[in-house]
Amino acid sequence: MICLGIESTAHTFGIGVFDGKPLANKMASYKSQGGIHPREASQYMALHATGVMKDAIKEAGISLSDVDVFAFSQGPGLGPCLRVGASVAKALSKYYEKPLVGVNHCIAHIEAGKYFGAKDPLVIYASGANTQILGFAGGRYRIYGETLDIGIGNALDSFGRQLGLGFPAGPAIERLALKSDSYYALPYSVKGMDLSFSGIVTAASKIKAKREALCHSFQETVFGMLVEVSERALAHAKKKEVMLVGGVAQNKRLRTMLSAMARSHGAKFISPRNEYNADNGLMIALTGWKMHNAGVRQDSLKIRQKWRTDEVDVSW
């Protein structure tokens, strides 16, 4: 069975093909000087959809008529962007008379990580709009802790915008942070098992220091907070695996900190390659494939901009 998955929640239009193993993963990502402008990002997606599709089909060595099931990112995400992927997926499914599956983007990040070797992990999902620490219990991913305001990636991007680093700022902050050991104290906002990042962005804007030192201080603070809550969740849930997924999982410093924490508890650290951590179509294809195989059929395929991870019944 071949599943073609379409990702279009925020900045990336991606197409993946999966038939029990990855056949293709192609994408085009919107970049800008400021943050994401939803309408601009959706126009970018509409412009690149056909090219990405052609590349993915070519890489997979199939034609569209070979696809058995189409899947798309149904939410959460930005309305105009979600609509692009949904429209393409719905048109293909109608034209080729093949079933259509709506995939939760957050669950897809988790499934991408699990495909690369985790069985029952403590999940640290760190991306642009989301920051959650989760574990599977009773048919759903339950949230041990999460951000109370913006996602850790959005915090990095807002902080980076203040420094003129463009969007996405995460990679540039990571590079600059490597060049400094200076630490400027920033608010450390752990509230019980939850986190808050927006005040740290504001506080960082008031410190006059070199960009390298600011980036180092910012990373150490927000990653330290995330690791603290993750460690408490791990001690409570007693999982044997710690799995880091989402766009921010591409950060080497965060990976090092979390893997050291996992090791000190005798747990294995798992995180997919960058290609599968950043938003991508393959994670949608492999989740759609699993869902369809398990007989999941959905009543509504309307986009869901605020669809939470813990609202999804994971029956596959």
| Contact positions vs Fe ion (CB under 5 A) | 127, 279
Locus of tokens 């990580």: 113
Site map 7..26 versus ligand ATP, x via CB under 6 A: --xx----------------
Give me the least distance between CB of 247 and ligand ATP, in Å please.
Answer: 2
CB contact at 8 A, 123 and 114: no
Site map 28..67 versus ligand ATP, x via CB under 6 A: ----------------------------------------
What Cα–Cα distance (Å) separates residue 29 from each residue in 36, 71, 86, 168?
11, 19, 17, 10
State the Cα–Cα distance between residues 180 and 242, nearest whole angstrom: 28
Give me the least distance between CB of 94 and ligand ATP, in Å please.
Answer: 27
Could you tell me how many residues of this chain bind ligand ATP (CB under 6 A)? 26
DSSP H helical ranges for 12-71: 38-60
Considering only residues 73-112, where is the footprint of ligand ATP by CB under 6 A? 77, 105, 109
- Which option in ligand ATP, Fe ion, none does residue 74 bind, with CB closer than 5 to 8 A by kind? none
Of positions 45, 92, 225, 278, contacts ligand ATP by CB under 6 A: 278
Of positions 17, 27, 156, 201, contacts ligand ATP by CB under 6 A: 156
Based on the number of CB atoms within 10 Å of its own CB, is 181 exposed (0-12), middle (13-18) or buried (19 or more)? exposed
How many CB atoms neighbour CB 37 within 10 A? 15
Site map 237..276 versus ligand ATP, x via CB under 6 A: ---------xxx-xx-------------------------
Closer by beta carbon to Fe ion, 186 or else 291? 291
Site map 109..148 versus ligand ATP, x via CB under 6 A: x-----------------xxxx------------------
- Which option in Fe ion, ligand ATP, none does residue 129 bind, with CB closer than 5 to 8 A by kind? ligand ATP
81, two tokens: 């962007």
State the Cα–Cα distance between residues 238 and 49, nearest whole angstrom: 43
Side-chain-facing half-sphere of 170: CA atoms under 13 Å: 23
How many CB atoms neighbour CB 23 within 10 A? 20
Closer by beta carbon to Fe ion, 213 or else 272? 272
169 binds ligand ATP (CB under 6 A): yes
> Omega of the bond prior to 168 within 30 degrees of 0, cis?
yes
Rounded CA Rg of the chain = 19
Closer by beta carbon to Fe ion, 127 or else 287? 127
Of positions 19, 111, 146, 174, contacts ligand ATP by CB under 6 A: 174
State the Cα–Cα distance between residues 112 and 282, nearest whole angstrom: 8
CB contact at 8 A, 222 and 257: no
Per CB under 6 A, residues contacting ligand ATP are: 9-10, 77, 105, 109, 127-130, 151, 153-154, 156-157, 168-171, 174, 246-248, 250-251, 278-279
